[in-house]
Chain A
Amino acid sequence: MHENEHEMKYSTYIYVWLALVVLTWVTVAVASIDFGNAAVFVALLIAAFKSSLVVAWFMHLKNESATIKWMVATLFIVFAIFIGITFTDYPFR
């Protein structure tokens, strides 16, 4: 069933894992730097990067069809909309 799919290699995944570990270290390390209000932003940026590594490689989204990629994109757009529009409320109270 899956034989015709791309060849999987252990090493690729180990590199990805190494990158994730390094990024975890980075995010802990920069947490002690005072970015002020940008701190959340920096932390989320790193988290977003880490999770895209997991999604693209570990969950092999990068090898999936365009349909599934579009679906994932839709999910994130919808979620961004939910958060974005909620914030037309709270900062303006």
Chain B
Amino acid sequence: MPSHTLDDTVQNGESYLDVKGRYTGVFGWIFSVDHKRIGLLYLGSVFVFFTVGILLGLFMRLEQMTMGETLMTATTYNRLFTLHGVIMIFLFIIPGTAGTLGNFFLPIQIGAKDVFFPRLNLLSWWLYIAGAVMALLAIFTGDGMADTGWTFYVPYSTQTGTNVTLALTAAFILGFSSILTGLNFVATIHRMRAPGMNFHRMPLFVWSLYATAWIQVLATPVVGITLVLVILERTLGIGIFNPAMGGDPILYQHLFWIYSHPAVYLMVLPGMGVISEIIPTFCRRTIFGYKAIAWSSVGIAAVGTLVWGHHMYVSGQSSTASIVFSFLTFFVAIPTAIKVFNWVATMYKASIRVEVPFLYALAFLFHFLIGGLTGLMMAAISVDVHVHDTYFVVGHFHYTMFGGSVFALFGALYYWGPKMWGRMYHNKTAIVALVLQLIGFNTLYMTMMYLGYQGMPRRYFDHLPQFHDAHLVATFGSWFLVSGLLLMIGTLLYSVFRGEKAPANPWGGTTLEWQIPTPPPLENFDEIPTITDEPYAHKEEAV
């Protein structure tokens, strides 16, 4: 690190929030090419959709509270889980950490003034908005929102009368937006690191973004063309997946999962990066096994491209393929476990300062452990054939994506929020929100996994009597969860506008973002620092 002067008055640069540019007001935001403003633009838009997604989830749970058709018809339920899935995946979680915190902190953490292509960065946010608007249009035009599920499997997606074409176009555009972010990050990390910051001195969050960026660039185009093929079948009758024209519907699944399995790592890797930042800061010591954690991000990204067929055990793919995919899938556990063990080793016998971000990191570990282990169960073909397309799967992926990635994102917002908007959060409310979330989350999704194991299929708007009690419990859980989430969003909003002023380095963090004023000045650094040490060298240890 350049210096360990942590007092608040080191530099006098004007905060990026106060700087006036060519435009003022809203235009000063939506036309700004400052990576920090773009990060906050993403954060705001992403959370709007998250809130919508939460409410959709809540409605689905309300329907399942009773048997038979109470709140909505079967078709409405189908549209709801499709919209919920599309929003949560494409509009919330994929841009959720990389687009928001990645944009904000990647340049700062490597000692740069901005990303490599600032204008492209703004374009990627605009494409995100364009895709989002199109997804919303799909709800209100034609025959309404698609009812295919977020996976858009053929042949149903080529035949249903609902607005699949528009929804697919939206997903295509969102994919393009994500590609641009990835491209930008790779160029930034390769070209804009401060002098002295070689790859092995980069913060682990940057490593995780690097791995993520490669997935974005290399996997997204494949799903892009796949969705285009479905559009072409719907509009021009080119039936590449249509069995009546010699096509193979399973090929769609291959092409879809070639992207969408790596995409789950695209969702979780930045979250893991966040955890790798939070843990050393609050354990007040350097991270254990830096290189192992760094390279395991790349390892996860690499192995992640080999395993897509584990979504297709019951699709009719050859058993050879299933066996190969099953075998390869188990390997993903290795780099993942490497990370977990190193995090735990960092905590071992550390003098830990327990704050909300750290609690979220623990919640992440707990949920991700359950999500990961149930994932291993389903990697085994024999188990998966039994639980495929049941609530077990739904429970599993909510544990990994929601309990894992999204809880990491929440932790990151408490961790970095003070730096981003210069104000602290109200501690007690934050903790109450977390407790509500934990109770609600585990009641809801643990019960879902239980239901699935008993045979409750996913994507059904109704259930059999023997599942009723558990469904009731799950719905109760969802109420706790949703109140916890809304309370948290409220807490964060309050902190943005009303919170106490934050010091430059409230947690004693060692990475570069903590060495600059709060909120950061327009170009982050008065003078580009020279890096001479590893990112997590704590003073106490250095002495």
Contact = CB atoms under 8 A, between A and B. Distances in A.
B190 interface: yes
Contacts of A86: 254, 258
Given A67-B190, A78-B305, A85 B318 contact: no
A89 B309 contact: yes
A88 B320 contact: yes
Contact of A89 (B190, B254, B305): B254
Between A67, A75, A85, A91, the greatest number of chain B beta carbons within 10 A of the residue's beta carbon is seen for: A85
B141 interface: no
B318 A92 contact: yes
B65 to A, nearest CB: 41
Contacts of A85: 306, 308-309, 321, 324-325
A36 to B, nearest CB: 23
Q: Is the interface of A mostly helix, strand, loop or mixed?
A: helix
B218 A78 contact: yes
Given A75-B218, A82-B222, A92 B320 contact: yes
A89 B324 CA distance: 9
Nearest to B318: A92
Contacts of A60: none
Contacts of B427: none
Nearest to A93: B318
Contacts of A90: 318
A89 B317 contact: yes
Interface string A9-22: 00000000000000
A79 to B, nearest CB: 9
Contacts of A31: none
Nearest to B312: A89
A78 to B, nearest CB: 5
Given A78-B305, A81-B306, A82-B258, A92 B190 contact: no
Interface in A40-82: 67, 74-75, 78, 81-82
Nearest to A82: B258
A74 B305 CA distance: 12
A75 B217 CA distance: 10
Contacts, number: 40
Nearest to A86: B254
B11 interface: no
Interface string B191-233: 0000000000000000000000010001000100000000000
Given A75-B218, A86-B254, A89-B254, A81 B305 contact: yes
Contacts of B222: 82
Interface residues of B, number: 18
B75 interface: no
Contacts of A88: 309, 318, 320-321, 324-325
Nearest to B250: A89
Interface in B236-260: 250, 254, 258
B254 to A, nearest CB: 6
Nearest to B328: A85
A69 to B, nearest CB: 13
Nearest to B214: A74
Contacts of B305: 78, 81-82
A93 B320 CA distance: 8
B297 to A, nearest CB: 15
Contacts of B73: none
Given A67-B190, A81-B305, A81-B306, A89 B218 contact: no
A75 B258 CA distance: 14
A92 B254 contact: no
B151 interface: no
A85 B322 CA distance: 11
A85 to B, nearest CB: 6
A67 B190 CA distance: 9
B483 interface: no
Contacts of A89: 250, 254, 309, 317-318, 320-321
Contacts of B308: 85
B9 interface: no
A40 B325 CA distance: 28
Contacts of A74: 214, 218
B261 to A, nearest CB: 11
Interface in B285-316: 305-306, 308-309
B474 to A, nearest CB: 36
Given A78-B218, A85-B306, A85-B309, A92 B321 contact: yes
Nearest to A65: B190
Between A74, A81, A93, the greatest number of chain B beta carbons within 10 A of the residue's beta carbon is seen for: A93
B309 to A, nearest CB: 7
Given A67-B190, A85-B308, A89-B254, 8 more contacts: A81-B305, A82-B305, A85-B321, A88-B309, A88-B321, A89-B309, A89-B320, A92-B321
17 contacts: A67-B190, A74-B214, A74-B218, A75-B218, A81-B305, A85-B324, A86-B254, A86-B258, A88-B309, A88-B320, A88-B325, A89-B250, A89-B309, A89-B317, A90-B318, A92-B318, A92-B321
4 A-B pairs with the lowest CB-CB distances in the bound complex, closest first: A92-B318, A92-B320, A89-B321, A88-B321
Interface of B: 190, 214, 218, 222, 250, 254, 258, 305-306, 308-309, 317-321, 324-325
